[in-house]
Amino acid sequence: MNRQKRNRKERAFSKGYQAGLHQLSRDNCPYQNIEQKEQWLGGWREACERSAEGFYNR
């Protein structure tokens, strides 16, 4: 069986989350598509919030 490709929105969220964990600027969003950009920023925001709450120590 072939593996299914991941949903593009899920991938954008995941990439944004990783960027937030690495404390990158929100201006580093690579997406131009509005839907993917919103997902990326959502992941970025969630990672920043969790980091501020102390879930991840750097």
Report the pLDDT value the prediction gives residue 6, as an integer from 0 to 100: 77
Cα dihedral 30, 49, 35, 2, rounded to 10, equals: 80
For the chain, the structural domain boundaries read 8-53
Q: What is the pLDDT of residues 12-42, one digit of tens each?
A: 999 999 999 999 999 999 999 999 999 999 9
The class that CATH gives domain 8-53 is mainly alpha
**Axis-axis angle for helices 34-53, 8-21 (nearest 10):** 40
Question: The whole model's pTM is what?
Answer: 0.82
